[in-house]
Chain A
């Protein structure tokens, strides 16, 4: 690697040639503030917060996109730099609706943090006309509030990176605003509800629809039996909302917190993840043996499903008919569990704690009501759960570790890795290979499908059959694979697709991490590592060996793919228009 010698604030150092001043400064232990910058996907130098002085340059330069050269002398903290940044912040504030006291991002807002750091005391310094924007609350999962938008375009980049690109900058000058084509509501465009725009927004302009009041109302209603279940990835991300290290497994404290919030039963979505594997592995084997549509593609990720319905409506037959774990969980609760416990499903409220905003959309889908009532009543994001815990005054970090309730609190190692890209594939392989060969697996680790790469491929020979698989995350990568599926060149047997880059650990409902973390820390990898760690330590690591799974099949479903299983655990998909 070619190196160049530079000076940052008079400290000489040698850094790789061509990197940005922003990255070079990190070598010197200096963080230059940014607002619009997202590494690789939004390098547009638009917000002007990262301005620094370069000796000999005519004016200040944007550190995020300006490459370092031999002999460059950079100053990141001069009077001129500080004044520029402060003016920029004051200008941003002049069109920013500042109801910070009640803003959902108060305390985690990047603009607020910078205003404090740069001692912006006069919020009205450039007071003038405010743009007049309407709230867009049309979508099932989120709210867009352009009056808090700072036009950094991080959401636009995130949406483009997902190959969805339904939002962008429209009009110009003072009228510039982020919206959809023809300023249509989000519900009327092919938004897939992934929420990647939300986790990338520096302010409170984008946020999930808050359903915590509905949950509290259900808990306070004595006639309701309120069951909560938590998706695999929540246990390794919830701690971040309480200042814990990225990748801390807080399963025990999470269960304790949910119990203290007043839920009647605290279960684990992992149970339903195991159920999904047993059904999905069976469906795959049936398709392989009976000449069904291949490759079969996983259906756990509702953002991916909605994407497929909008963008590949002619390819829906490739999707597994299995409901997602969230929906399988609710369906099992309102059928088998209600019956076993003598409960009326009408009085059961199922709440899912999900890493995902698309799960809110999923609860409203058709053909997701096994007992005649919606399988899941309310889906909360990790962020909403964190807010509920905070407002209940529960000191999360001091909670004891508690265990899930039984019998639906049992999950295997195969289920816990559902939260990371490749996890569903690995879990399915652990079951499918044993079913196909009738022999016990020597090693349970399918390392080829692990890791945060967007597309991972592997080939296995199983009982004389060659099974080619792919694990894909992020919709841009899904697009690449789906083009092959559409033109018939995808010679895979089984494909796992997760909507969000890196899988659910990086879901649109996960705790917000500032751009500086997203840019320079392996967020996805560190969260996923905690899941694989949990898998390693679990006594049961194959879905079909779970005692809870054996019990529900013995008592209710019969065999995988049975008539009852199809009625309760499987669903259908609908083509959706790209434009309307």
Chain B
């Protein structure tokens, strides 16, 4: 799965930049710490957009392509921000055979984004996940900490409307 790069304009704050600079200053003596820096950068920004990866590349004195290569290799790194409400649809075996793909497709259609992306207003993001241990409720998806079981595509519009 090739990761989607966010098209949402970068909106990092000076405080976040200060935090990242401090992280880089701690680690720039050793290029092997690149991944640690990337993890901390993701903690600060929530994801690793172009602007953040450039700061890391320059700060750690490694090619930008190297940072991008690492960020696209490991599942833990996100290139797109999480929305205020992050929707996670289970595509594990039980949910999948019970039709969770149709639920995911419907959510994407309603929001006009693809899995791994965030809506332009920053409200919703969608991702696929594997089993969340609620197979008895299949197909299941979550919105932040709310769990929705035995979901069907025609419920989606109503559920999404509850989130402001």
CB distance from A124 to the nearest CB of B (A): 26
B50 to A, closest residue via Cβ: A182
- Whether the pair B2, A182 counts as a contact (CB closer than 8 A) is no
| Contact residues in B for A183 (Cβ distance below 8 Å) | 5
Contact with B along A255-267 (1 / 0, CB 8 A): 0000000000000
Q: Give complex CA distance A579, B64 in Å.
A: 9
| Contact residues in A for B1 (Cβ distance below 8 Å) | 171, 175
- Which of B2, B3, B53, B66 contacts A165 (CB under 8 A)? B66
B79 to A, closest residue via Cβ: A182
CB distance from B132 to the nearest CB of A (A): 23
Contact with A along B97-123 (1 / 0, CB 8 A): 000000000000000000000000000
- Which of A171, A172, A180 contacts B65 (CB under 8 A)? A180
Interface size on A, residues (CB 8 A): 15
B68 to A, closest residue via Cβ: A181
| Contact residues in B for A171 (Cβ distance below 8 Å) | 1-3, 72-73
- Whether the pair B54, A168 counts as a contact (CB closer than 8 A) is no
Q: Give complex CA distance A406, B122 in Å.
A: 70
Q: Indicate whether A165 sits within 8 Å of B63 (C-beta atoms), given known contacts A171-B3, A171-B73, A172-B73.
A: yes
Q: Indicate whether A165 sits within 8 Å of B73 (C-beta atoms), given known contacts A171-B2, A181-B53.
A: no
A180 to B, closest residue via Cβ: B65
| Contact residues in A for B66 (Cβ distance below 8 Å) | 165, 168
- Would you call A166 an interface residue if the criterion is a C-beta within 8 Å of the partner chain's C-beta atoms? yes
Contact with A along B40-76 (1 / 0, CB 8 A): 0000000000100110000000011111110011000
CB distance from A182 to the nearest CB of B (A): 6
Category for how many chain B residues contact A: 10 to 19
Q: Indicate whether A181 sits within 8 Å of B65 (C-beta atoms), given known contacts A171-B2, A175-B1, A579-B54.
A: yes
| Contact residues in B for A175 (Cβ distance below 8 Å) | 1-2
Q: Give complex CA distance A274, B69 in Å.
A: 45
Main secondary structure of the interface of B (DSSP, over half): helix
Chain A stretch 426-477: residues in CB contact (< 8 A) with chain B: none
CB distance from B100 to the nearest CB of A (A): 23
- Whether the pair B64, A170 counts as a contact (CB closer than 8 A) is no
- Which of B5, B50, B53, B69 contacts A169 (CB under 8 A)? B69
Contact with B along A97-116 (1 / 0, CB 8 A): 00000000000000000000
Central interface residue in A160, A175, A182, by most chain B CB within 10 Å: A182
- Would you call A167 an interface residue if the criterion is a C-beta within 8 Å of the partner chain's C-beta atoms? yes
Contact with B along A173-192 (1 / 0, CB 8 A): 00100001111000000000
Central interface residue in B2, B54, B72, B73, by most chain A CB within 10 Å: B72
CB distance from B63 to the nearest CB of A (A): 4
CB distance from A487 to the nearest CB of B (A): 15
CB distance from A49 to the nearest CB of B (A): 24
- Whether the pair B69, A170 counts as a contact (CB closer than 8 A) is yes
- Whether the pair B54, A167 counts as a contact (CB closer than 8 A) is no
Q: Give complex CA distance A182, B54 in Å.
A: 11
| Contact residues in B for A169 (Cβ distance below 8 Å) | 69
Q: Give complex CA distance A165, B50 in Å.
A: 17
- Whether the pair B73, A168 counts as a contact (CB closer than 8 A) is no
| Contact residues in A for B68 (Cβ distance below 8 Å) | 168, 170, 181-182
| Contact residues in B for A168 (Cβ distance below 8 Å) | 63, 65-66, 68-69
Q: Give complex CA distance A182, B49 in Å.
A: 9
| Contact residues in B for A167 (Cβ distance below 8 Å) | 65
A165 to B, closest residue via Cβ: B63
| Contact residues in A for B69 (Cβ distance below 8 Å) | 168-170, 181
Could you list 8 A-B pairs, sorted by A, with CB under 8 Å?
A170-B69, A170-B72, A171-B73, A172-B73, A175-B1, A181-B63, A579-B50, A579-B64
Listed in ascending order, the chain A residues whose CB lies under 8 Å from chain B are: 160, 165-172, 175, 180-183, 579
6 new A-B pairs (CB below 8 Å) besides A171-B2, A181-B68, A579-B64? Answer: A166-B65, A169-B69, A170-B73, A171-B72, A175-B1, A181-B65
